[in-house]
Structure 1
């Protein structure tokens, strides 16, 4: 016999290729699927707010500033600007531990839109975190040192700039310790269940940016940070994308430091110069990527218009040369 929870589920989810209870009151979905619904279903919001119904769009981890997240923000801002009647039935919540002011400014400038901004009154951690600068020290030497002084179940999380570095350091640590010290890789391509298994059974981890916010380490005691990050940068003149290692932004460093101090005191070991010049926030991906796929998606959507139109709704619009390069390439391909 079907119970009321089965007939009226509270929450459902949807990811690429799989979904469950999509008619539930609360639906969790990826930023990519939210973008697709906003782009290719012109009645997406209207269908959800028929009668007295209202809808809340909760967009989390906005600080990542991926192309999908920025497009979601732009499409939501466009709806609220061009369809004022939606403002009474649509509530948008934007959440992030750190956030560039360009994002709230995007919505603040929409006429007659009720706008509220809440900031945490303090940023102290529950437990004390000691910050230790160790510029130019070898990351494997530091990890082995921490292994010797840690308690049995203390976890060590190391941030490096690339997937290649993640696997390389895991292998090198295994060889240096003759198989006694085992490190686990954490990268974006792993499934959530695989990442969770690593965290449950491991104590030493090498990770890219994936561990900055989306993963929880119950016994984390040490963070070792190289202070760098790999970014893909597109050159519209050369028509090629290169991977470049750059200093992580101040907000990224803050995210990494913030992994500590939640369940017990911790130590943050910075393998970089404290005086190194950094951006306050990471540069949005839409401002440094090849935009041909974005331009193509916008043109075949119900908007029937490209970035030249949508850019005014982006928190940080890309340079005209990036948009022009995408348009020229599409025209060359006959799209």
Structure 2
């Protein structure tokens, strides 16, 4: 896609959100934007993550418009009404507010520099503290649920200390539940089958 387009030919590029900011393609003249984005969302009540097509935000749309005309004159066509555009949110929710916090909580615990293991469950939690310092922090109940999930999984003990299993799970770049499933599958010598189930 980065090669110059041969004379008399037109290059058509279908792209995901990666083209909004990360890539500059010099000969883009037109952008046709459907105004949608695929984003991961998590429902903490049902504990289900899903990938859904949702309307993009106004900032996403502006970024996409900026892809045309960076190196030569260009035009952008937005496939929605002005009313629809006006009703789009200014920006999408930060990922921290719409995804499962368990993976992030586990990495926070892995990277924390606490002075030894916790021995008091009432001692302030480094996980809760780090989340509370985010520019747009998640609800404390969602943080508590992530911690409880990690305790249930066996990645943290009841004092929120990282367990040996928790340390192993951080080495597998996926959701802690799937990582434990993969480890269990390996122990039971059904690696291939469990990886198919995990996907």
- Normalising by structure 1, we get a TM-score of 0.39
Distance between the aligned counterparts of 2:81 and 2:47, measured in 1? 34
Which residue is 1:74 aligned to?
Answer: none
Matched, 1:286 2:106: no
Supply the distance in 2 between the matched residues of 1:321 and 1:242 (Cα, whole angstroms): 20
**Partner of 1:308 in structure 2?**
128
Q: 1:297 aligns with which of 107, 113, 129?
A: 107
TM alignment of 1:99-110, pairs within 5 A:
none
CA contact (8 A) 2:131 2:143 kept: no
User: Match of 1:325?
Assistant: 145
Partners of 1:303 and 1:274 lie apart in 2 by: 51
Match of 1:209 in 2: 17
The match for 1:274 among 82, 92, 102 is 82
Match of 1:224, SS? strand
Report what 2:175 is aligned to. Answer: none
Structure 2: gaps (5+ residues):
6-10, 115-124, 157-199
Runs of 5+ consecutive residues of structure 1 not aligned to the other structure: 1-197
Larger RCO of the pair (alpha carbons < 8 Å, separation 6+): 1
Deviation at 1:307, TM superposition (A): 3.2
What CA distance in whole angstroms lies between the structure 1 residues aligned with 2:151 and 2:53? 33
Residue 199, structure 1, aligned to residue 10, structure 2: no
Q: Secondary structure at the match of 1:299?
A: helix
Secondary structure of 1:269's aligned partner: strand
Aligned match of 1:229? 37
**1:265 corresponds to 2:102:** no
Establish whether residue 244 from structure 1 lines up as the match of residue 52 from structure 2: yes
The structure richer in strand per residue is 1
* Alpha-carbon contact 1:311-1:317 (below 8 Å) kept: yes
Contact 1:248 1:278 in 2 (8 A): yes
Give the superposition deviation at 1:311. 2.4
Q: Distance in 2 between matches of 1:238 and 1:215?
A: 37
**Deviation string for 1:165-201 (max 9, x for gaps)?**
xxxxxxxxxxxxxxxxxxxxxxxxxxxxxxxxx2226
TM (normalized to structure 2)? 0.65
Match of 2:197 in 1: none
* Deviation (angstroms), 1:232: 0.9
- How many residues in Structure 1 have an aligned counterpart in Structure 2? 138
Deviations 1:43-100 (A, max 9, x none): xxxxxxxxxxxxxxxxxxxxxxxxxxxxxxxxxxxxxxxxxxxxxxxxxxxxxxxxxx
Indicate if the aligned counterparts of 1:298 and 1:307 stay in contact, CA closer than 8 A. yes
